[in-house]
């Protein structure tokens, strides 16, 4: 299991590849989004694409993220959508009850993916 601690501009990331449980929690607006996320997302996507008949869970609780981070997460969702053909993928999108901005981001993601169970959870 890999845990990357949060910084003021990057979320806490937990990657439990053995159990296929992943979480992203906090804020995401690093100066160079690709420099931060590429080393995390590239191996993660490779791992996910190798899964077959697995239960895969992603928990997101992102209180704030910039537009470049949005694209990073969107690309991850596209991968999840692809692998959902062969796996059971669940996304839990958490947001503060009054934070309609985070909720709207979740809705945008949800609309673009077909085969994933996408749960909205208010905190």
Partner 1 sequence: MTLNDFRTLKEMIESKNVIFCYNGYLSQEIIVAVSSMIKGKLSADETKIGISQKVLYMFVEQAQNITRYSPDQIQHSEESSMSYGSVAIGTEGNQFYIMCSNRIEKAKVPALQEKLEAIAAMNQDELKALYKEKMRSEPDEGSKGASIGLIEMARKSSEPIEFDFLENDEIFDCFTLKVVI
Residues within the interface to partner 1 (CB under 8 A)? 8-9, 29-31, 33, 63-64, 66-68, 70-71, 74, 78, 96, 98-102, 108, 111-112
Q: CB of residue 31 vs partner 1: minimum separation in angstroms?
A: 4
- Distance between CA 60 and CA 123 in Å, rounded? 12
The DSSP 8-state label assigned to residue 14 in this structure reads E
- Distance between CA 11 and CA 29 in Å, rounded? 9
Q: CB of residue 33 vs partner 1: minimum separation in angstroms?
A: 8
Identity of the residue, 53 or 97, whose beta carbon is nearer to partner 1 in the bound complex: 97
Identity of the residue, 53 or 98, whose beta carbon is nearer to partner 1 in the bound complex: 98
Q: CB of residue 75 vs partner 1: minimum separation in angstroms?
A: 8
Identity of the residue, 4 or 68, whose beta carbon is nearer to partner 1 in the bound complex: 68
């Amino acid at each position: 299991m890999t845990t990357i601690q949060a910084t003021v501009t990057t979320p806490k990331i937990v990657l439990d590849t053995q159990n296929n449980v992943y979480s992203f929690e906090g804020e995401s607006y690093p100066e160079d989004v690709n420099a931060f996320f590429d080393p995390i997302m590239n191996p993660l996507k490779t791992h996910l694409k190798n899964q077959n008949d697995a239960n895969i869970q992603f928990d997101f609780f992102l209180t704030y993220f910039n537009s470049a981070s949005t694209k990073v997460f969107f690309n991850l969702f596209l991968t999840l959508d692809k692998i959902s053909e062969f796996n059971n993928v669940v996304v839990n999108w958490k947001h503060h009850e009054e934070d309609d901005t985070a909720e709207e981001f979740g809705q945008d993601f949800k609309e673009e993916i077909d085969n994933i169970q996408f749960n909205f959870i208010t905190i």
